Structure 1
Amino acid sequence: MGTIGKWLSLGIMILFILVLFIEISYAGTIDNGSLLKEYVSSGYEENILEQRNTLLRFQAENNLFVDGLIGEMTQKALVEKNKKIIDIIPEEIKVKEWFIVVNKTKKILTVYNNGEVYKKYPIALGKESTPTPDYKFTIINKLKNPYWGGMGGKFKPVRGGDPNNPLGKRWLGLSTERYRGYGIHGNSDPYSIGRYVSAGCIRMINEDVEELFEYIPIKTEVWIGTEEVLEEWGIKQYIEYEEILDVCLSKIIGYN
């Protein structure tokens, strides 16, 4: 191959790498709403985990009920441009560098940073027979690849890092002054997120809890409650839609 041919081959290779890099960057930065719209327009498949996780994250980000279903409220939030995501929190949360609120009613874990919403995550919570308690906890430890003890002999223990470990690969343990054994962790059943299925712990999408693990420090406060309980604590999380004045009506009544 001549010199020109070598340079041409090198140029094509560089161009290919650049295009690939741009595509990867775009995929990494596209928001969940835009991504979900693409899935819906092409035929949403709930049995495809990537699509379901995108829906769950969109619901959490918009203070909707996290259930993995594209219902009326989710459809509205997906198409309306005049929506406002509102979080009202008390002053004692605003002065904290990091703070976590778990909304049991909507199945949303919200991270606040200096009083502002930093990130919202979809979660799974305790089933009716083993509900997640309403309580004001604190994170007391963080573990990578935690060992699962089998719930006191009810099940066979699973070693840390095993794909079948119900705790996933990350554990953030909660304080034990009143309730013992509760934590925020990953999962071995990704389709359980968005449901009430656990023994009381807070389950997260594995990638989400790994992200949370990296930046949330020990001693971070974690308030867990239903919407009614959270409201008693001064917390409200909801979505609302602003009314848009009809321009045509304005012209009819004489305003330009």
Structure 2
Amino acid sequence: MKKLILFTLSIVVMQGLLAQEDNFAEVNDVKLYYEIKGEGDAILLLHGHTMTHDMWSPWVDELSENNMVITVDARGHGQSTTTADSFTFKATAVDFYGLLDKLKVDKFSAMGFSGGAMALMHMATMDTTRIQSLILLGSAPYLPKVTREWLASKSYETVASDRPDWITYMKAVQPGGEDQIRLLLKYYNQMADSYTDMNFTAPYLSTINCPTLIINGDQDPIIPVDIAVGLYNAIPESSLWIVPNLGHAVPQKETILGELFTETIVDFLTEN
């Protein structure tokens, strides 16, 4: 009886490992962890830097009712691997297109927050034919001085001192622990000194020809409102929502604002 139980447990464990392995795709020089829910038209959701695919879990159910929702950990984040000591949003954009190609997804809608939205700007300009509709939250086509100063100030020690809750969050979602967190924060410092990765001009942004919704908090200390207005002016088929009393964040779903946010993104991504 004990042998039978152990044999049954081993099958369950192996099935779990195989299922987990099925959620990885080898793309370029990394293995990307991704999840898919629902069927229908594809919607790609990209998380912010130091976050993971889980940031979108409150909205996956609504979005996947009639669509196939794809969430993914960017290279170096969550369960995805990285081989590089440096990080660019352009590289992640290439990764995400590689994942979509492996999944045989051609046309798709997409939403990204912060770094995820910056990767989407690269994707939307790399290939202007594949994205059907686009939502950019807390994003910037270039990094102004206030953003660079914020990025340059981040280290494990400064964050642990000023924002211990952020360290606690990262420890919960980054399985590599302190080493992984230190690397992700190091990438922030690199971004502060980079002028080649995020350097989109208005003429370049004007090539984005899909319906685009730009969302920015009016209290965002990292991405000033005028940056969002500049995006709106540059992207031809765009709409702009400046959210009152919102910082560099996505509205919490349980709030009245969160309900409006959910209704807005679901309508925009599914109707366009």
TM-score normalized with structure 1 length: 0.31
TM-score by length of 2: 0.29
Q: Which has the higher strand share?
A: 1
The structure with the larger Rg is 1
Give the structure, 1 or 2, with the largest relative contact order (CA under 8 Å, sep 6 or more): 1
